[in-house]
Structure 1
């Protein structure tokens, strides 16, 4: 179902779209086991970006939307950090197989810093595009899942059962 929107968001709404608010939302939402499982499937089987999915769900929850013509800006914002994260995840998985727990924890902390940078890049992009008030809920994430042929993950990424 296409997203319906009309009015631009207010300056006050836009001011709430910060890196810290997005990070806090992401940490809280990602604690849900269904979300974690679906996010890893989205990433590993559908080559989706978990941070982009989280951003889209966050915007959906705030009833904020944007025209689909802006999607390429998000893909461009992800290029550098996606390459780094993919390489680094592979390295961290190799480290995990070693006995050095301390080294693994350091690797995990560095990966989280890369995740934060990726989220900052996404927020920077959000703040540069036309944002509108959505008249209905949930369509940005659903559209993203559909674009990856990952429709079956939509409800789990939202942490909602049934529909």
Structure 2
């Protein structure tokens, strides 16, 4: 296997990595400015590891504390969502949810998302479950309806 060196771009890559801070675990400055994040990550994403993002989220919580993080961030792992599509493509009024949180202090509370895939499952709904919980079928009811699922931790 050949690993390529960035050559003349190495210093710029390091500089931009520090500016972007994609793996930074202290988001205090962002939070203190009133920033809010609704972060969805697909479990079927072949481009960005859901486990890597879950680990980053856990590192932010470990560094800042769960209560502080809860004030500015919600993280959801979405079964079936890939990178811009997949077997489940959630749609919901996420901008309204973010606006309500920023403008009125009302964070998202148990949002329901609707599948927008171009398949026979289009229109099915699921609860959006805060990490580490996930949508678990109750055992009865319409499998296409969010009301037949609970957010589970087991």
TM-score, scaled relative to structure 2: 0.25
**Rg larger for:** 2
The answer to which structure, 1 or 2, has the higher relative contact order (CA under 8 A, 6+ apart) is 1
More strand per residue: 2
